[in-house]
Structure 1
């Protein structure tokens, strides 16, 4: 099946035949097509997709969508554009192995907000004044670590560094963006944060 996400977000974990223990984690939000690469492959890649919260999708049988695409150039072009968008996101967010862990986590958090963020969470600043802040709901720290191929300790150190200077607040499967501009500066490397491990 091929799924068009109408609302919400999902986590997809793709496994590989050459190594059953190897997998790739990616996040998708509204407008994304889950399984779009399978349309162009002879053998679809096995994957497990989990909704991160309330999610609506429109499902199409793979054979049916292939048949329609072969006869409709406009549909084939749209599917190719959807696949290209996913590949660009892979390069922009997930393939940053030469960047610092802080840059990689910050880039993914921004990507998660762009595909599934909400502007509906009120949060107090350091003076006790309440503000409406962007928020991402659903992914866990384990999801982020798996997607970026980082250790849980590395992710937690980055999140702690972001919390320490009031860029981010976190709750269970929630990431509240207190200062989006500075988070973007962390992602580009213009702002360095302290990611040293917590002292015991």
Structure 2
């Protein structure tokens, strides 16, 4: 399993997280386990990844400006992406598997969203023009990028646009999503979320910060989350998913999990 910038062993029966890989082995693991890259045939994946530059960024570093000239495949970390359409602004929080700039690959006329890192982030970067050339010559990669776009639309409906639910349920659902894409190691529960502020969470759900503060209080009272400065820990992920009305294919059992 991927936690932060490392790849760890994970026992599904015991819920225990083992020691992580390091160095080049960790990078290869991050590439092989990446939700986007793992869909590519291994030879294609290796050739594709070799055309990119590995970029390590810190919190508040800007990955993409208003003129998005670089495409980033997120290997690990948490990224705040803001899109503007006239007076309307949409915020999405991305993690492993996201391809920042994928829409502009297919639609050059689109206005590029801005993107900044919320914690330590590792990406594979390639100029947008080069990515367009790759897509023109590889139907396999073009199809995989198309799936990324489709996944973004699905996530928008299943995570961000559930306005019929209570704010605390929407926030719980967002946490489940971020645990799947942006988790970092946690000595108490195996993994946690680190990086987004309450304001970032509010922007992503299109609610006020006060609404998020109240939603967090409800989750804390139910012992579904404990909070620190830009840190969110979850004593029981299954209960979190259930409360947030999220159905997941494979939920990590937390509560007794320890990093060995």
| Fold equivalence (TM over 0.5) | yes
Alignment of 1:11-22 (within 5 A): 11-16=80-85, 18-19=86-87, 22=88
Q: Which residue of 1 aligns with 2:212?
A: 155
Q: Which residue of 2 aligns with 1:110?
A: 176
Highest RCO, 1 vs 2 (Cα 8 Å, sep ≥ 6): 2
CA distance in 2, matches of 1:119, 1:61: 32
- The normalised TM-score by structure 1 is 0.83
Q: Which residue of 2 aligns with 1:74?
A: 140
Tell me the C-alpha RMSD between the 2 structures.
Answer: 1.5
**Selected match of 1:2 from 63, 71, 75:** 71
Q: Is the 8 A contact 2:101 2:112 kept in 1?
A: no
1:100-149 residue CA offsets vs partner (Å, 9 max, x unmatched): 11211111011111101134232xxxxxxxxx353100011101111111
- The normalised TM-score by structure 2 is 0.65
**Selected match of 1:84 from 140, 150, 154:** 150
**SS of corresponding position for 2:187:** strand
CA distance in 2, matches of 1:103, 1:25: 19
CA distance in 2, matches of 1:71, 1:133: 42
**SS of corresponding position for 1:135:** strand
Q: Which residue of 1 aligns with 2:55?
A: none
CA distance in 2, matches of 1:78, 1:50: 24
The Cα of 1:85 is off from its aligned counterpart by 1.4
1:7-62 residue CA offsets vs partner (Å, 9 max, x unmatched): 2121111112x22xx21110111121111111111313232211111111111111
**Selected match of 1:171 from 228, 231, 248:** 228
1:56-99 residue CA offsets vs partner (Å, 9 max, x unmatched): 11111111111211121111111101111111111110111122
Report which of the two has the higher share of strand.
1
Residues 1:48 and 2:117 aligned together? no
Q: Is the 8 A contact 1:11 1:27 kept in 2?
A: yes
CA distance in 2, matches of 1:156, 1:72: 47
1:137-182 residue CA offsets vs partner (Å, 9 max, x unmatched): 0011101111111111111111011111211100110000012122
CA distance in 2, matches of 1:40, 1:92: 24
